[in-house]
Structure 1
Amino acid sequence: MSGDLVMAIDAGTGSGRAIIHDLSGAVVGAAQEEWTHPVAADAPGGLDFATEGNGALIDRVIGRAIAEAGISAERIAAVATTSMREGIVLYDEKDAVIWACPNVDSRARTEADRLVESGLADDIFRIAGDWVSITAPARLLWLQDNRPELFARIRRMGMISDWLATRMTGEYFTEPSAGSSSALFDLGKRDWSGRLIGAVGLDPAMMPQVVEPGTPIGTVRPDAAARCGLAPGTPVIAGGADTQLALLGLGRRSGDATLVGGSFWQMTYLSDRPLIDPDCGPRTLCHARPGEWMVEGIGFLSGFALRWVRDAFVVPVLNRTGASLNAFDLIESLAREAPAGGVIATTACPMQSDNWCQPPLGFLGFDLNQPGLALGQIARGVMESGAFLAHQHLTRLEALSGVRHDVVQFTGGSSQGTLWPQIIADVTGREVDIPVARETTALGCAMLAASGAGLFPTLDEAVRAMASPIERRVSPDPAARESYRSIERQWDEVTRAAAGLGARGTLEPIWRPAGARI
């Protein structure tokens, strides 16, 4: 191919997207459609990934992105794929998909508990760096127990980003960043663990070949080209998992700390060795760069919580009054007027992989003498809760790595305003850098496509040419930092108490994980 553009194809938790980039990193065309995951009626907590319908959706957004860019498909020199992590796809001997689930599937509670009781969950965390709550081991055991006929038909397994590429090329492979989110990897080897695969009843020969991100794995077949509008023969390059590719898009390297602020927040640290927390707190996955690993503490629904405030309180009022205000701008304005620590929001607990039960959602500490500030206090409480979680995760990562960070990058949709980044700087006491680009997962995926297609001699050169520059730096306010020390201690005490109410069944927690160690 002689094109000068690259395409990233992204299967996210809530949508499928196709984004076309030029070699400076600029977006020249994009399309997106939301999707939902059907509830498995006979499997409590179960959600399926609808490969047939979602595959057709992906084909549509590819075609629409090309049309929006106003280009011929031949200008696309290569494509690469990325996706949510943990989701798996299973194939039979005829290479037909027989079962798939997204990252949020939680049907395998009994099986996860069994893995904990047997001690295998501890071995999985020690070898693979992740717990059994939403990863492949418990889900595969669930299939053995509940779909034995289907389990017997399994001949191949892959991750969702792998499936995107297989639909176009007919080739089967994985790469370490998404593959390691299965919890069937040996992190140190950046390859499948024969021991863990055998422990869940599969043959290691069923697992796809592992290649590093940026490796060419095939070309777009004529039948796939006819479906989606790409040119036949377009090179397909191994991409990776969404969070890791966001870090790649930012040009982050070993030793860097980055807060990725989407629906979930990930406070991440990149290391040149597979750091695994001996206390089963944050989890560890392979990074998209060879020889690098990522440790992350996840803020459960930190970004989604503010969207909930928007949809529950602000949008209905704006719709009823006919006001044309931007909902998030209004929320930030009201939150800025509210006092720090005025309301304690129990939105999530710090990540403890082996017992990560989230608290019941609550807002405590309202002052009845200030009713005009109520909505602003709720919004600010959500922002502060996210910042406290990020700070606790950062502290944990620094203790694990032995590296202190005076500067943290903050990217993703949650970084777009001015108040939330300031609160993060004030709570953590660190400088916070905000990059220009917000959609850095697709950018990292595009870098892999460009380097894999030979448009740059190396991945490092692709990153230098395409990475997002820093838009602004936010500095902590010393007085606010001092004030937040006591507020964070208060938040921690209240959140722990709320989590206890959820654990005892007094109130329903936001999320109760499978395989929680009691």
Structure 2
Amino acid sequence: MTEKLFGVDFGTGGCKATVIDKEGNILASAFEEYPSEHKHPGWSEQAPSLWIEAFIKTVKSCRGQMSDGFAGMLALAVTASTHNAVLMDEAGKVIRPCIMWNDQRSGGQCNRLKEKYGEEIFRIGMQMPTPTWTLPQLLWLKENEPENYGKIKRLMFTKDYVRSWVTGDFCTDIVDAQGSLLYDARKNAWSPELCGMIELPLSVLPEIRGTKEIVGKVRAEAAALTGLPERLPVIAGCSDTAAEDFSAGAVNAGQIIVKLATAGNVNLITDNAVPHAKSFTYPYSVEGKWYTVTATNSCASAYRWMRDALYPAEKELCEAKGEDVYMLMDEQASKAELGARGLIFHPYLLGERCPYFNPNARGDFFGVSMVHNKGDFARALLEGVAFSLYDCLQVLKDFTGNMEDIVIIGGGAKSPLWSQIVCDVFGLEVKMPEHAESSFGGALLAGVGVGAFSDEIEAARKCVRMKRTYKPASENHAKYEKIFAIYKEIVEASAPIWDKLAHIANE
């Protein structure tokens, strides 16, 4: 009987479940997509019920892929995107759809929080308020939906809501706690000062536990609906980014992880917290380490937007033939010239985080002419996201001069074209792990939690393998540097125009 470890991750676009053995071999995997709702420009919400449905479907699918089912399963971990607060009333019912991390509605609240409490928030929470964080999201709710705000009796985050459905626990881990901007990481406790700024009772917040702590066991009801073994140990889990960085073998200070997922990240592992106004600071899933996050809001989600907006007919045809429309898009983009014949894309479809932190930022295709076709637009999008990630990399240069240990991960990294474009834009060698996904990292963390591995370093040594190395072409990097300078000029010129557009849109 093979001993197994299970990780289930809830990204912004869907749920991925992965079963592995103790050598890091994948035994089963499943994915279930779910939508976000965008009721107004800059808004992004999801119904938590979609996550439970996706959990049940993906877990059952994995069970059916293995001849011995879940026999030998040692532990389960649930991970997810952070900042997303699920609000529950006294009866335990969800009060309203979850405001997601990429929602930009709380820009005004962020400005007022900065003006009134900026220094104190940064001192305690280690970051400045932007619409990504739970604190300003809740302030928006308090001011715009006071009846709903008054009903809050329990607050959970995405992974905790799902895990609580599985086990019945009420807790979170240190990474998701940090993602709320309601937590004092130096004291490992919810902050009365930060919660007091929005009059949020500490009593509604979950207990804080370690990422790899066993916090519960699978309930009979959840076992019956999913096929999971009843009383299977379940660890606290962590954010998708922390799990995914770990899945890429990032266990040492100085390692850099580039993530092409719904959002795009360029992250640095550190020995200590190094708060910076243009980055995010988190305790890491590897005990004793921290990681600094620089992030662009729209990465693979921008490519998904293009798929739905410009390729609906091709998508339908590909699905009918059992093919992936993204491969067609990549093929067209690969035939376009480097630089897309003067077409530049800014991926600010949901505002932007690093380094501009501007909720009013908007995406654009700049330089459109009669010569451009769909392939040029597809290539410009891939290059534009790479430029946004390169913008993020510049911030990390404040922390490290080491650019020798870079790995690229995420769904977008499965595209050799996109990975090579990132490599050429950066002008740096990047490595791609064999299995680098949050669900894979969650499974490894579950193994550490139940003692299948002595620690995170052993888990990475046994299970993380590099699949490919991308090397930059110097002539491509030189051309991209020229285009990137223009990319930045367009951003600077567009900022006041974005504000005018936002004013009109919000009238």
**Same fold per TM (> 0.5)?**
yes
Q: Is the CA contact (8 Å cut-off) linking 2:355 and 2:392 kept in structure 1?
A: no
Displacement of 1:235: 0.6
Relative to structure 1, the CA distance from residue 88 to residue 72 in structure 2 (aligned partners, 3 Å threshold; closer, same or farther) is same
Residue in 2 that maps onto 1:516: none
Please state whether the residue corresponding to 2:345 is helix, strand or coil: strand
> Where does 1:218-297 land on structure 2 (aligned, <5 Å)?
218-253=216-251, 254-277=253-276, 280-297=277-294
Q: Which moved more, 1:209-218 or 1:53-62?
A: 53-62
Q: Which moved more, 1:421-430 or 1:329-338?
A: 329-338
Q: Deviations over 1:275-310 (max 9, x none)?
A: 111xx3222222212222222221231223333344
Displacement of 1:185: 1.8
The answer as to 2:489 corresponding to 1:493 is yes
Letter in 2 for 1:491: Y
For residues 403 and 453 of structure 1, what CA distance do their matches in structure 2 show?
37
> Where does 1:207-218 land on structure 2 (aligned, <5 Å)?
207-218=205-216
For residues 245 and 215 of structure 1, what CA distance do their matches in structure 2 show?
14
Residue in 2 that maps onto 1:425: 423
Residue in 2 that maps onto 1:22: 21
Residue in 2 that maps onto 1:345: 345
Residue in 1 that maps onto 2:142: 144
Relative to structure 1, the CA distance from residue 38 to residue 363 in structure 2 (aligned partners, 3 Å threshold; closer, same or farther) is closer
For residues 45 and 478 of structure 1, what CA distance do their matches in structure 2 show?
38
Please state whether the residue corresponding to 2:8 is helix, strand or coil: strand
Please state whether the residue corresponding to 1:380 is helix, strand or coil: helix
Residue in 1 that maps onto 2:198: 200
Relative to structure 1, the CA distance from residue 259 to residue 201 in structure 2 (aligned partners, 3 Å threshold; closer, same or farther) is same
Relative to structure 1, the CA distance from residue 402 to residue 206 in structure 2 (aligned partners, 3 Å threshold; closer, same or farther) is same
Displacement of 1:258: 0.9
Q: Which moved more, 1:380-389 or 1:337-346?
A: 337-346
For residues 56 and 378 of structure 2, what CA distance do their matches in structure 1 show?
38
Letter in 2 for 1:351: C
Relative to structure 1, the CA distance from residue 508 to residue 214 in structure 2 (aligned partners, 3 Å threshold; closer, same or farther) is farther
The answer as to 2:61 corresponding to 1:64 is yes
Displacement of 1:99: 4.7
For residues 378 and 48 of structure 1, what CA distance do their matches in structure 2 show?
28
Residue in 2 that maps onto 1:154: 152
Relative to structure 1, the CA distance from residue 398 to residue 187 in structure 2 (aligned partners, 3 Å threshold; closer, same or farther) is farther
Relative to structure 1, the CA distance from residue 417 to residue 170 in structure 2 (aligned partners, 3 Å threshold; closer, same or farther) is closer
Displacement of 1:257: 0.8
Relative to structure 1, the CA distance from residue 392 to residue 36 in structure 2 (aligned partners, 3 Å threshold; closer, same or farther) is closer
> Where does 1:476-487 land on structure 2 (aligned, <5 Å)?
476-487=472-483
Q: Deviations over 1:124-172 (max 9, x none)?
A: 2443225231322223233433444543443332211112221122222
Displacement of 1:316: 2.3
**Normalised by the size of structure 1, how large is the TM-score?**
0.86
Q: Which moved more, 1:84-93 or 1:268-277?
A: 84-93
Displacement of 1:477: 1.5
Please state whether the residue corresponding to 2:9 is helix, strand or coil: strand
Q: Deviations over 1:73-106 (max 9, x none)?
A: 3432111111111111234455554455133444
Letter in 1 for 2:256: A
> Where does 1:115-134 land on structure 2 (aligned, <5 Å)?
115-118=113-116, 120-128=117-125, 129-134=127-132
Of residues 349, 355, 362, the one that matches 2:358 is 355
For residues 357 and 492 of structure 2, what CA distance do their matches in structure 1 show?
16
For residues 178 and 252 of structure 1, what CA distance do their matches in structure 2 show?
19
For residues 503 and 272 of structure 1, what CA distance do their matches in structure 2 show?
39
Relative to structure 1, the CA distance from residue 295 to residue 508 in structure 2 (aligned partners, 3 Å threshold; closer, same or farther) is farther
Q: Deviations over 1:303-332 (max 9, x none)?
A: 233333444444525757999975434433
For residues 208 and 350 of structure 1, what CA distance do their matches in structure 2 show?
27
Superposition RMSD in Å: 3.0
In structure 1, stretches of 5+ residues that fail to align are: 513-518
Letter in 1 for 2:218: V
Letter in 1 for 2:76: V
Relative to structure 1, the CA distance from residue 46 to residue 361 in structure 2 (aligned partners, 3 Å threshold; closer, same or farther) is closer
Residue in 1 that maps onto 2:440: 443
Displacement of 1:196: 0.8
Matched residues, number: 497
> Where does 1:397-416 land on structure 2 (aligned, <5 Å)?
397-399=396-398, 401-416=399-414
Displacement of 1:186: 2.0
